[in-house]
Structure 1
Amino acid sequence: MTVERLLPTPEAYDLLDLTRELTTRELAGRVDDFEARGEFPREVLRTLGRSGLLGLPYPEADGGSAQSYEVYLQVLEILASTWLGIAEAVSVHTLSCFPVALYGSERQRKALPEMLGGELLGAYCLSEPHGGSDAAGLTTRAVSDGEDWVVTGTKAWITHGGQADFYNIFCRTGEDGPKGISCLLAAADTPGLLPQATERLMGLRSTAPAQIVLDGARIPHDRLVGGEGQGFAIAMKALDAGRLGIAACAVGLAQAATDYATGYAKEREQFGRPIGRFQGVGFMLADMATQVSAARALLLAAARLKDAGRPFSIEAAKAKLFATDAAMRVTTDAVQILGGYGYVADHPVERWFREAKVLQIVEGTNQIQRLVISRSLTG
């Protein structure tokens, strides 16, 4: 179905038209092959970068496109409706540019045009094998030695691990707890920075994450982003925006599943009529469409708060929670509507079903989102 959108500028409508054109030309015919082979689509991301889609919410002076989050998130939604792996990669890259764009030194910021243009791909290294939700408890440690930080530890679930050109390494430079965490900007060729084999995933196989082992990696002192001990604050502020990105991906995935199931229900006949005309199926489709619209509305309300410079972290948690849970429900129902055909790879709903699950986990599990929201209510 056609989604009716109210966008803030005529330019925004043109941008979404460009995005649809790129998804048709560059994504639609490739996604199944890349997912089947588990191949990372680096050249596709370069194409999107050269089209201006990898730096959308950043200022033009830095090499971005100066788009509002309200518009940027709808671009992600359209990308996700065709290839979730690409949309997630764009979201993660946008997140990876955040530390330098907002906290970087003058020297570090010189790389922003290449970062935001997608020529340099980024990775965001916060989680660890034994600590994802408890980000303040990370154990990767950096010790000052001469003109370098010497970093030892392991980062886990790193999207673009082994593919990125730069890595934001969140590590402990001081005391236990959040105040002892700093952010270091590491180049891919840093000695001792060792990407491991990619994980074998249920979905998102073309953009599977990898662990990053830091075996005495030497990162120059001038690669410290912000001040020493400021890393946790940087990470949390970035994740507020990153959660909106994942919510947008969930909306796009759920919209695609709703559209596909609706089309199937209009064509598939049983007992002499299309199955969509049976109340049992028709009500499922109605619930799916309503869930998608509600998720989009919650997402865009949070985005508009961010664009207005108002607090939005709680609304971002709500949007991430609701949209990703909705994507899981909607893709499950899409498989059910297709029946046996929903369980075979000839139809994309089985892939969307597998992919929806991870959205409830990344950028803070939905249990963490509930914790954030509940604490805001109870103090």
Structure 2
Amino acid sequence: MNEQLSLYSAHFQLTGRCNLACRFCGQRKGMLASSRSDELGTADWLRCADELKCAAKDSGHRPEIMLWGGEPLLYPEFDRLAGTLAGQGFSLGIVTNATLLEQHADIVCEFLDRIFVSIDGGRADHDAMRGAGVYDRAAAGLSAIRKRRGKLIFLCTVSDLNVDRMAELPDSLMEVNPDEIVLQPLIYLSKREIDDYRSFSREFFGCDYPELTAWQREDDLDYRKRLAEGVKKLDERKFPVPVRFTPHGYSGEQVCRCRLPLHHVHIRHDGAVGFCTDYFGFSAGNVREASLMEIFSGSRANRFRQAQASGCLSICRHCPWCRQQFGSGIPADILYHYDFKNIINELCERSEKNLTDRK
């Protein structure tokens, strides 16, 4: 690799278990199966954190850890782990569905710098996607962390169920006091993309990824048309907090170059190390068998970087986060503010082109 590797950031997937069964979630559809028996212990996570901190010293960056799952608050020693990591100087975040926040409010308020909450609109929309009564449980959790010091960011999934109300979703969320709202389209892959990736993975990485079929979808033309209309309406609105829309690519488009593998790792609940938080099929190694830096700078990790840089990984085309990184996709400053005209035009062009191609 010609580019300099500098590890300072990690996702710790504390558990694959979740207390919800959201309709659109790939993990619920069999992408991630786990039990407490295969989860790393607190000592394992702290060892990984020590290695990350040592690696970050030379980077000039404060080491960062994002805690997620599954539902990370199900991890039995969450409070102890979060408190210890914060005390060691890490910038700490969490991705949670908020339904268990009441039991962990003190820790979250004191130690978390960023609190990402998955919430998809008001009570009717959220419960339709995540289960009856879930909105009220999440709202109670959010009320319990009103005195937080960290930034509260809502991750709102725009699905077939709420896409027609996309421009009104931020209004419905203001009652639970976010600091920022991120609207995210559904992530999915076509059968062809899944087959292409699995074939490439078997040949290039020596492993298959049958669980990827959990993300399969073909009938997206109507959804994409409605999404483009929603973005257009969103452009006409002003909100009291920042609102971002994070688009992703579709079949036939160029794969964005992701820079995360140069400085970031994703450690699964069972110790496997990869680079992506949405697709887990590839592993560069396991922290139960090797040090984090050995894995990060090892041959399998470099092989993944080469494949990603070459544009061979179809799964990367659908990543909304990749498109916000410097030098790839839609600039972050366009996404952050409310001028969505470029995004509207892009979504409309995609839809029209896809319709033409299928005729």
Q: What TM-score range do you get, normalising by the shorter chain? A: under 0.3
When the two structures are superposed, what TM-score results if normalisation uses the length of structure 1?
A: 0.26
Specify which structure has the higher proportion of helix.
1
When the two structures are superposed, what TM-score results if normalisation uses the length of structure 2?
A: 0.27
